[in-house]
Amino acid sequence: MLSMRVLTAVIGIPIAVYIINYGFWLFAATIIILALIAWHEFFKMMQAKAINIQYSSGLIGIILATACAWLGNAQELVMVMLAVVLFTLAQTIFSHEKFGVTEAAFTILGTMYISLPFAHLLLLRFTEQADYIHTAVGDLSAGAVYLWLAFIGTWASDTLAYFVGSLFGRHKLCPAISPGKTVEGAAGGLLGSIGGVVFWGWLCGLPLMHMAFLGALIGIAAPIGDLTESVLKRFTGVKDSGNILPGHGGILDRFDAIMFSAPVVYYYLKTFIIA
């Protein structure tokens, strides 16, 4: 299993680097496809719990929401989300015999849970896309630099949490949700996120005080995203959301943390740095 995880990472990381740095439309298409796969995984998880959510409305909602984040604006994104909510609730009237409040609630939950975070990956990547930042690894578009803050902070948090937790973990963090996570691991993940974001910020000439604070926020948001998906998996009784990534599980398994950290990075930058 470990060798398969490493092989997937060795193949996937160079591809991810190219798509994030130079992909533009390819990046947008990749994110939309990943979001749709995540929706399919969510649908299958709910089926395991005998909850028959409305597949088509979630699918259409996710396509439109991510497309708005790429090509549209925030007002159109809100309109799409409102349409999903109203249409789904209306189905409890027109299809009340097989589609009730529970199905509607989980359809809306899944659509929001997947579409909005993936939309923010697009919003973050295409922020100030005409501007370029001189970095130690070459000139990169501002959006790519900002998106790497989210990915590097999340990966550093996950990596340090694993190693520190394995070596020094004694006190369980959330034993009822994820028995393997420890307080010591969470502390290590927090330090790892701060260190990773500060280092990337230094390479890119970004203000280091902001980077330290942003790293701390990512170090809090990322494990919450991880634990949130753990709650969903425990609720539905599945081990992994899918098996599309050998050794890593499904898209939700791999992106659960970044789904929480990317919006944090986006709004922090919009509030304190880009403005």
Q: With beta carbons less than 8 A apart as the criterion, state whether 52 and 86 touch.
A: no
One pLDDT digit (tens) per residue for the chain, 275 residues: 556 666 666 777 888 888 988 888 999 999 999 999 999 999 999 999 999 999 999 999 999 999 999 987 778 999 999 999 999 999 999 988 889 999 999 999 999 999 999 999 999 999 887 789 999 988 999 999 999 999 999 999 999 999 999 999 888 998 889 888 999 999 999 999 999 999 999 999 999 999 999 999 999 999 999 999 999 999 999 988 888 776 668 999 999 999 999 999 999 999 998 75
- Ramachandran angles phi, psi of 36, nearest 5°: -70, -35
Residues 6+ apart with CB under 8 A from 180: 165
Distances in whole angstroms, Cα of residue 222 to Cα of each of 120, 134, 156: 15, 28, 10
- Residue corresponding to tokens 């927090």: 190
Contacts 24+ apart (CB under 8 A), 193-200: 193/153, 193/154, 193/156, 193/157, 193/160, 193/218, 193/219, 193/222, 194/219, 195/156, 195/160, 196/152, 196/153, 196/155, 196/156, 196/157, 197/149, 197/152, 197/153, 197/156, 199/152, 200/148, 200/149, 200/152
Q: With beta carbons less than 8 A apart as the criterion, state whether 107 and 120 touch.
A: no
Query: Nearest-CA neighbor of 62 among 82, 32, 86?
Result: 32
From its phi and psi, is residue 245 left (phi > 0), alpha (psi between -120 and 50) or beta? beta
Say whether pTM exceeds 0.85: yes
Q: Please give the helix or strand (H or E) that residue 110 lies within, else none.
A: helix 101-125
